[in-house]
Structure formats: C-alpha cells, structure tokens
Amino acid sequence: MCSIIYARKVFNRLSMGVQDFNKEVQRLVNREQDEELIFMLLNHARNIGFTSTNIDLIYGLPKQTPESFAFTLQRVTELNPDRLSVFNYAHLPTLFAAQRKIKNTDLPSAQQKLDILQETIVSLTQAGYQFIGMDHFARPDDELAVAPARRRATP
C-alpha cells in the first residue's frame, strides 16, 4: 500500500542502475544483481503507477566486449524502459580505491569501447528509442524526447 501512495503522490519516475547483465562483468565490479528481480521490480513499478522508468548502463567495464554488451542490450530492450542512460566507464583508480582492484588488462580497448557505443546507438534506435545525445535514449513519446520539439514550437 505504501508503495502505491508514493507512486501516485510523490514519485512518478524510477531509475535503476543495472550497468550490465553479464554475470562476469557484474562480479568484477562488485555489482551482482538478480536479473529476474530487476524485471519483476520494473514491472511492479509500472503496475503501481510509475509513469517513467529508466535503466542506467555502463560500457567500458572489465571483460566487456561488443558481443557481451549486445546481450545486455537485448535484455534491456525486453525490459522496455522509457529511457536509457548509457554511460562511458571512467577508470580512475587513483581517485577511487575500489577501482584499484580492476586490472587494466581486463578493460576493453578504446576501439572496443567505440564499437560498443556505435552498436548501442544502432541497436537501441532499431528498438524504437531516440538517441537524445549525451548518453541518453528515450522512447518517442517520453517527455525527454518530446521536450526539444516543444521548445522549437514555442515562439
């Protein structure tokens, strides 16, 4: 009951930081998640009245490849969120102690990261998302996609 009240009165958007659906990648960044639970929670959020859902992904994580990230993109399009944020991983071990555990040799090359980004843009636009820019994608009817057209139409 409490979650229904929040969805109707306080919150209308839900964002989940999935990062990647590949189990090996999740283990290496210490972000292991239950895929089934993610699907269940997102569907529950819609059922109780959340009007906008977002999934955050990160490319450039250890052991990611264009092929492994394609699997993540397939799963996320099955989730069908209204928005997606697809961020480039910044490896800064001198600033973040947790990143010191990540081996440079496990990180994708610059070319692999570019390939992942290009495939992400193609895959998500083919799935019906608009590339808004600055790492963001949205369904055509989402407020994020509609807002630029509204601004252009307003004198």
DSSP letter for each residue of 105-148: GGSPPHHHHHHHHHHHHHHHHHTT-EEEETTEEE-TTSHHHHHH
Using a pLDDT cut of 90, give the percent of the chain over it. 77
**Rounded average pLDDT over 99-113:** 95
Instruction: State the pLDDT confidence band at 155, using cuts at 50, 70 and 90.
Output: low
Whether the pLDDT of residue 115 is over 50: the answer is yes
Q: What are the φ and ψ backbone dihedral angles of 105, each rounded to 5 degrees?
A: -70, -20
Determine the 3-state secondary structure of 89 from DSSP. coil
Q: Give me the domains of the chain, ranges plus CATH numbers.
A: 2-153 (3.30.750.200)
Q: Check residue 12 and give its pLDDT.
A: 86
State the average pLDDT over residues 80-97. 95
The yes-or-no verdict on residue 95 having pLDDT over 70 is yes
Look at residue 50 and tell me whether its pLDDT is greater than 70.
Answer: yes
Q: What three-state secondary structure class fits 87? A: strand
Rounded alpha-carbon distances, angstroms, from residue 88 to 10, 34, 43: 31, 23, 27
Grade residue 133 by pLDDT with cuts at 50, 70 and 90.
confident
- The four Cα atoms 80, 81, 83, 87 give a dihedral, to 10 degrees, of -90
Q: If you ran DSSP here, which 8-state letter would residue 82 be given?
A: S
Residues sharing a CB contact under 8 Å with residue 60, sequence separation 6 or more, in sequence order: 88, 89, 91, 107, 108, 113, 116
pLDDT recorded at residue 121: 97
**Better-scored residue on pLDDT, 152 or 51:** 51
pLDDT of 44 over the 80 cut = yes
